[in-house]
A and B are shown apart, each in its own frame.
Chain A
């Protein structure tokens, strides 16, 4: 929907600071989105979700197959974020960790090394100290490493030798796993899956986009991203502004609660989603609304995010496979109430 033009009229007249802040935030998000879109072709929906998770302070789990462009996506995202602070030189914009069965936690977090010059131990920061971390094939490593990774994701800090090193405020993990090749993997249990805001199943890009990838791969290989489009501080400000400015109507909240209650009552669902998942979803809904230029959460935000947020948090009854169907069945009625409420 062309929200930008639709909101044109009010923007001219809203002169307050708050509105301006939201304007700026929306501008930042759109800039970031456009830059990443230039690098990753045919994945607009995934880019949008990834940006939503980034701003909503969540992490994403991509389920896909090798060579589908997830590294390109993560790298483009990391490179688009500049850091104008020079004192924290150890925070890289982007790091990629390939998880293997023999990886150790220190390979991820970093390790204290003895510096003979200063005759002391210095902590050498691991690849996790970055704005965007691509945790590739996270289910291939041992539970121990997974735990270290997931602790960092939850607490935004790592602890090595009893010393705690904080991670940056802007810390975003894109983890991937291959849904088919499961031999020799350590599947993530449900509580750990809960750390991820979204689980996104990527599908093959369409023919036109695939052709475009082949035609432009040389030019994209030669450029190095063209510098950062947004800064870390801009992103953090946007996060704050969106959190403050985008309204969530009560009827939206009651819709979310009704949907989860329906899901819990559905006999095809063994275990429904947690209340926490709803709490986590609220900032994501706000970002989704902002990304569409709106200052309020609406039904289409719920339609977009609900399957991604709840999909990996619901345990289905044995023999039931069709998650989308279940979600659809349970959403219809509360969504109709939501739509009906606007005319009441």
Chain B
């Protein structure tokens, strides 16, 4: 076949592969940008990525881009990214744009410019590297893989898996959503690597693919065996996390980011009917009540806060009067680790409850609470504080920073009260609350956290802050008026979030702090300021399906038991697989040797009629073992000529074989001819190959697979 040369196609990229790759890389940008910027930024990132992909994909071969050195392109990309950042800074800094279009539009514009230039520059640089060298291709794959892994794991770790449409999809079919997401991520990476390798040497493709597949499989296997790393999820108030990690200053949590606001942290299943009077469910975890010299802190005095429960199973502490209250039980399951248990205001006992799903719930308990049924108006005329308190305790509840402004402001506020209420504790508290309602501005972004007294900085400054500031400021003012008050912390969930069922989902954003006042006969009563002006959208998607699903799960209903069993049946026992793997491999190797030996031995045992096939196949096996095999589409004669240097006898053997297989009157041979031919071939192969090759030939159990 002298005329038919073997041609190699140069890899040519059309529009479609370029577009497909662009979409995959854009997907990783989308995931990456979701948590870091607003929607405009995400769109800009995706657009920049697709533009850069198409530019490089279509222009790299025959344009100016081709003539530029890689270093120049990389420098240009870095410059472009830097310019984008600077431009974004100018846009947000300039008053002109903000006044013309409003600050929100200017912010969106800046994010758009920043992400557009960033993604365009980074994608362009990565693409150029990938096109120009195979190592660059790996960098690109790693970037995409990182994008997927970081976001998917961070987004979903520990919490019930998000995005919810995927998580619910998987859960309702009995699969672990984490696995589904990992598979998705792996699939995306595989797709991308396939696209990347299209332009590489085609012979390397299977090896690269096998490597990627192995990596992905081991990742899934690792997660299945050891689980995902537990996230250090925190809410604003330090409610979550380990009990050992207590924050020195809860105000520092104010430097929160907007990530994970919607993350579900716990689910509550009510065992009794209950609708809160105040429009929100309050779950108290603990309270800051003791002045420690610079702020309020957990008390160390056993006589204080006797209503708080240190741990589940601790004896119920009946320190609240049941007057005007009703017993409500609820089962609570946390999805992320929490410092200590919490319950509906006011919890009186926690009992450990069986955990229906260890994968899902970190801890489950039954909380028994005496929920307030009374109207706040009933507090009018009540005495603040408990007459049974020792004087020392009473004084502790009245201590506040050594700052006269609290008292001055508080007296100014209650100055407007009608005379008959001027001395009433509840009326005074309500006046303070109303003042903060009217004048306070709710905002997560504030600069009070690092001042000596954040509450003072808030109250006598811009009055812009979040629940912690409101709670501390009102507590200090109430204390200055002689009303025993403390800061309760826990969760506050809008009543509207409960979608009619008996379960309620608590999300990270619901972490809350509020002022509480002790009224004689009623115990600690929440008087929570609700600022009318807010800079933060505190509404969340209540995620009704998830609420329902987790509630069912926590309730451990029969239907759900079935569901769980189904899930268990479908889950692959990875430990078993890992354990069985060596045995499987050994069996495979043994089977390989078995077939290998059988195919070499069978010609000696077979009759004359099958010799042309079996002897020839044995010869091919021996040659394949030393690395000589027929190419795809190559004729047997051509192969025999090619192998002639190692085994000259193969030509004659091939002639015999083909005369039998294709001819009508094959040569008459007896069994000795065949045996002699096999021996001759064997000695030729032994004589013409190196010792190393021969050892590999003997050891390789699957060499016969390569013979054809």
Q: Which residues from chain A sit less than 8 Å from chain B, CB to CB?
A: 1-3, 5-7, 9-11, 13-14, 18-19, 45, 247, 249, 251-252, 294-300, 302-304, 307, 322, 324-325, 327-328, 331-333, 335-336, 338-343
Contact = CB atoms under 8 A, between A and B. Distances in A.
Given A303-B635, A343-B616, A10 B658 contact: no
A48 to B, nearest CB: 13
A7 to B, nearest CB: 7
Contacts of A300: 635, 637-638
B663 A10 contact: no
A304 B635 CA distance: 11
16 contacts: A6-B652, A6-B656, A10-B669, A18-B665, A249-B661, A251-B662, A294-B659, A295-B663, A296-B658, A300-B638, A304-B1, A335-B633, A336-B633, A339-B633, A339-B635, A340-B708
Nearest to B635: A299
A247 B3 contact: no
Interface residues of B, number: 40
Interface in B368-399: none
Contacts of B651: 1-2, 6
A298 B667 contact: no
Contacts of A251: 662
Given A3-B655, A6-B651, A9-B673, A342 B637 contact: no
Contacts of B656: 6
Nearest to B6: A328
Interface in B614-632: 616-617, 620, 630, 632
B358 to A, nearest CB: 55
Interface string B666-678: 1111000100000
Contacts of A13: 667-668
A167 B519 CA distance: 132
Query: Which of B2, B637, B651 is the most central at the interface, judged by chain A CB atoms within 10 Å of its CB?
Result: B637
Contact of A294 (B3, B7, B657, B663): B663
B3 A339 contact: no
B663 A332 contact: no
Given A247-B665, A294-B655, A343-B617, 10 more contacts: A249-B661, A294-B659, A298-B636, A307-B4, A328-B6, A328-B7, A335-B634, A340-B708, A343-B661, A343-B708
Given A300-B637, A331-B633, A335-B635, A307 B662 contact: no
A189 to B, nearest CB: 24
Contact of B636 (A5, A6, A252, A339): A339
Closest 9 pairs between A and B when the two form their complex, measured CB to CB: A10-B667, A296-B663, A299-B635, A332-B633, A342-B661, A6-B655, A247-B664, A300-B637, A249-B662
Contact of A247 (B630, B636, B662): B662
B261 interface: no
B662 A333 contact: no
B33 to A, nearest CB: 43
Nearest to B2: A45
A175 B595 CA distance: 57
A13 B656 CA distance: 15
B664 A324 contact: no
B659 to A, nearest CB: 6
A298 B665 contact: no
Interface class of chain A by DSSP: helix
Nearest to B667: A10
B641 interface: yes
B613 interface: yes
B616 A295 contact: no
Nearest to B638: A300
A339 B634 contact: yes
A304 B1 CA distance: 6
A205 B669 CA distance: 41
Contacts of A336: 632-633
A342 B667 CA distance: 16
A327 B636 contact: no
Contacts of B663: 247, 249, 294-296
A325 B1 contact: no
Contacts of A338: 635
Contact of A14 (B617, B637, B665): B665
Interface string B224-263: 0000000000000000000000000000000000000000
A5 B652 contact: yes
Given A10-B668, A332-B633, A298 B662 contact: yes
B633 A297 contact: no
Given A1-B651, A294-B659, A307-B3, A299 B637 contact: yes
B667 A9 contact: yes
A340 B651 CA distance: 17
A230 B668 CA distance: 31
A211 to B, nearest CB: 21
B3 A296 contact: no
Contacts of B613: 342-343
B5 interface: yes
B640 interface: yes
Interface in B1-36: 1-7
B593 to A, nearest CB: 21
B71 to A, nearest CB: 38
Query: Which of A18, A325, A341 is the most central at the interface, judged by chain B CB atoms within 10 Å of its CB?
Result: A325
Contacts of A295: 659, 663-665
A325 B8 CA distance: 10
A5 B652 CA distance: 8
Query: Which of B655, B668, B673 is the most central at the interface, judged by chain A CB atoms within 10 Å of its CB?
Result: B655
B633 A298 contact: no
B662 A19 contact: no
Query: Which of A19, A297, A307, A342 is the most central at the interface, judged by chain B CB atoms within 10 Å of its CB?
Result: A342
A10 B659 CA distance: 11
Contacts of A327: 4
B402 to A, nearest CB: 90
A342 B657 contact: yes
Contacts of A342: 613, 636, 657-658, 661-662
